[in-house]
Amino acid sequence: MDFYWVLPLKKILRNIEVLLKKTLSFDIKKTGQKIIFIETFPKRLFVNFFCREKTFRYKSYYKIYSCTFSGWDGCKKIGEILDKPDWYERRHPDPNLLTISYVLMQEQETKYEVIFGWKLKNYIDTDETLYVGNLFFKYQVVTKDVKRD
Protein backbone atom coordinates (compact mmCIF):
# COMPACT_ATOMS: atom_id res chain seq x y z
CA MET A 1 0.00 0.00 0.00
CA ASP A 2 1.31 3.44 -0.88
CA PHE A 3 2.65 5.47 2.04
CA TYR A 4 0.52 8.55 1.32
CA TRP A 5 -2.65 6.48 1.93
CA VAL A 6 -1.63 5.47 5.47
CA LEU A 7 -2.77 8.62 7.29
CA PRO A 8 -6.12 8.98 5.45
CA LEU A 9 -6.72 5.26 5.91
CA LYS A 10 -6.27 5.48 9.68
CA LYS A 11 -8.72 8.41 9.79
CA ILE A 12 -11.22 6.51 7.64
CA LEU A 13 -10.97 3.42 9.85
CA ARG A 14 -11.47 5.60 12.93
CA ASN A 15 -14.52 7.19 11.26
CA ILE A 16 -15.98 3.75 10.53
CA GLU A 17 -15.43 2.77 14.16
CA VAL A 18 -17.12 5.94 15.48
CA LEU A 19 -20.08 5.59 13.08
CA LEU A 20 -20.42 1.92 14.00
CA LYS A 21 -20.48 2.64 17.74
CA LYS A 22 -23.23 5.25 17.15
CA THR A 23 -25.43 2.55 15.56
CA LEU A 24 -24.92 0.16 18.47
CA SER A 25 -27.84 1.52 20.47
CA PHE A 26 -29.09 0.22 23.82
CA ASP A 27 -32.67 0.53 22.57
CA ILE A 28 -33.93 -2.98 21.71
CA LYS A 29 -36.28 -1.45 19.12
CA LYS A 30 -33.26 -0.28 17.11
CA THR A 31 -31.91 -3.75 16.34
CA GLY A 32 -31.72 -5.16 12.82
CA GLN A 33 -29.82 -4.40 9.65
CA LYS A 34 -27.71 -1.25 9.58
CA ILE A 35 -25.75 0.39 6.79
CA ILE A 36 -23.04 3.01 7.15
CA PHE A 37 -22.20 5.14 4.09
CA ILE A 38 -19.05 7.17 3.59
CA GLU A 39 -19.26 9.33 0.50
CA THR A 40 -16.38 10.38 -1.71
CA PHE A 41 -14.39 7.26 -0.93
CA PRO A 42 -11.63 6.52 -3.51
CA LYS A 43 -12.07 3.28 -5.45
CA ARG A 44 -8.31 2.75 -5.52
CA LEU A 45 -8.15 2.82 -1.74
CA PHE A 46 -11.00 0.32 -1.38
CA VAL A 47 -9.47 -2.06 -3.94
CA ASN A 48 -5.96 -1.80 -2.45
CA PHE A 49 -7.33 -2.37 1.02
CA PHE A 50 -9.52 -5.43 0.35
CA CYS A 51 -8.13 -7.08 -2.80
CA ARG A 52 -6.07 -9.59 -0.80
CA GLU A 53 -9.14 -10.99 0.97
CA LYS A 54 -10.62 -14.28 -0.26
CA THR A 55 -14.11 -12.82 -0.48
CA PHE A 56 -13.17 -9.71 -2.49
CA ARG A 57 -15.47 -9.50 -5.54
CA TYR A 58 -16.37 -7.20 -8.39
CA LYS A 59 -19.89 -7.44 -9.81
CA SER A 60 -19.57 -5.85 -13.22
CA TYR A 61 -23.30 -5.69 -13.88
CA TYR A 62 -23.86 -3.56 -10.77
CA LYS A 63 -20.38 -1.98 -10.82
CA ILE A 64 -19.92 -2.85 -7.15
CA TYR A 65 -16.81 -4.02 -5.34
CA SER A 66 -17.47 -5.97 -2.16
CA CYS A 67 -15.70 -7.90 0.55
CA THR A 68 -17.70 -10.15 2.87
CA PHE A 69 -16.75 -11.37 6.33
CA SER A 70 -18.74 -13.99 8.25
CA GLY A 71 -18.65 -15.87 11.53
CA TRP A 72 -16.07 -15.48 14.27
CA ASP A 73 -13.17 -15.72 11.80
CA GLY A 74 -14.61 -12.75 9.92
CA CYS A 75 -15.12 -10.92 13.20
CA LYS A 76 -11.45 -11.38 14.11
CA LYS A 77 -10.34 -10.27 10.63
CA ILE A 78 -12.38 -7.05 10.84
CA GLY A 79 -10.82 -6.47 14.29
CA GLU A 80 -7.38 -6.72 12.65
CA ILE A 81 -8.42 -4.34 9.85
CA LEU A 82 -9.84 -1.76 12.28
CA ASP A 83 -7.00 -2.41 14.75
CA LYS A 84 -9.65 -2.85 17.45
CA PRO A 85 -10.41 -6.42 18.59
CA ASP A 86 -13.66 -5.45 20.38
CA TRP A 87 -15.01 -3.42 17.42
CA TYR A 88 -18.26 -5.39 17.32
CA GLU A 89 -19.70 -4.61 20.77
CA ARG A 90 -20.73 -1.77 23.00
CA ARG A 91 -21.50 -2.27 26.68
CA HIS A 92 -23.65 0.10 28.67
CA PRO A 93 -21.45 2.57 30.62
CA ASP A 94 -23.54 2.13 33.78
CA PRO A 95 -22.17 -0.99 35.56
CA ASN A 96 -25.62 -1.60 37.12
CA LEU A 97 -27.17 -2.00 33.65
CA LEU A 98 -25.98 -5.14 31.92
CA THR A 99 -27.14 -4.19 28.43
CA ILE A 100 -24.93 -4.96 25.45
CA SER A 101 -25.33 -4.05 21.80
CA TYR A 102 -23.27 -5.89 19.22
CA VAL A 103 -22.78 -6.75 15.56
CA LEU A 104 -24.18 -10.22 15.00
CA MET A 105 -21.50 -12.42 13.42
CA GLN A 106 -22.42 -15.90 14.63
CA GLU A 107 -25.23 -17.36 16.69
CA GLN A 108 -24.74 -21.04 17.52
CA GLU A 109 -24.13 -22.65 14.09
CA THR A 110 -25.57 -19.79 12.02
CA LYS A 111 -23.04 -17.37 10.54
CA TYR A 112 -24.00 -13.81 9.66
CA GLU A 113 -22.28 -11.55 7.16
CA VAL A 114 -20.72 -8.16 7.37
CA ILE A 115 -20.22 -6.57 3.96
CA PHE A 116 -17.87 -3.78 3.02
CA GLY A 117 -18.64 -2.44 -0.43
CA TRP A 118 -17.85 0.32 -2.89
CA LYS A 119 -20.18 1.67 -5.56
CA LEU A 120 -20.05 4.55 -7.98
CA LYS A 121 -22.95 6.92 -7.44
CA ASN A 122 -23.93 9.70 -9.77
CA TYR A 123 -25.43 13.02 -8.79
CA ILE A 124 -27.25 14.72 -11.64
CA ASP A 125 -27.52 18.47 -11.83
CA THR A 126 -29.25 20.37 -14.62
CA ASP A 127 -26.18 20.62 -16.82
CA GLU A 128 -23.70 18.06 -15.49
CA THR A 129 -23.32 14.73 -13.72
CA LEU A 130 -20.93 14.19 -10.84
CA TYR A 131 -19.65 10.65 -10.21
CA VAL A 132 -18.64 9.87 -6.63
CA GLY A 133 -17.42 6.62 -5.08
CA ASN A 134 -19.19 5.57 -1.89
CA LEU A 135 -18.11 3.07 0.74
CA PHE A 136 -20.84 1.12 2.49
CA PHE A 137 -20.67 -1.18 5.50
CA LYS A 138 -23.71 -3.47 6.03
CA TYR A 139 -24.30 -5.53 9.19
CA GLN A 140 -26.87 -6.79 11.72
CA VAL A 141 -27.19 -5.29 15.23
CA VAL A 142 -28.58 -7.06 18.29
CA THR A 143 -29.23 -5.54 21.72
CA LYS A 144 -29.92 -7.63 24.79
CA ASP A 145 -29.56 -7.75 28.54
CA VAL A 146 -26.75 -9.92 29.86
CA LYS A 147 -27.51 -12.11 32.86
CA ARG A 148 -25.65 -11.45 36.08
CA ASP A 149 -23.19 -14.13 37.21
3-class secondary-structure state, position 16 = helix
CB atoms within 10 A of CB 20: 21
3-class secondary-structure state, position 13 = helix
- pLDDT digit string, tens, across residues 55-83: 999 999 988 999 999 999 999 999 998 88
User: Mean per-residue pLDDT for 113-141?
Assistant: 90
d(CA 40, CA 80): 24
**Domain limits of the chain?**
3-145
Q: What is the DSSP string of 74-105?
A: HHHHHHHHHT-TTTTEEE-SSTT--EEEEE--
Contacts of 76 (CB under 8 A, 6+ apart): 85
- pTM summary value: 0.82
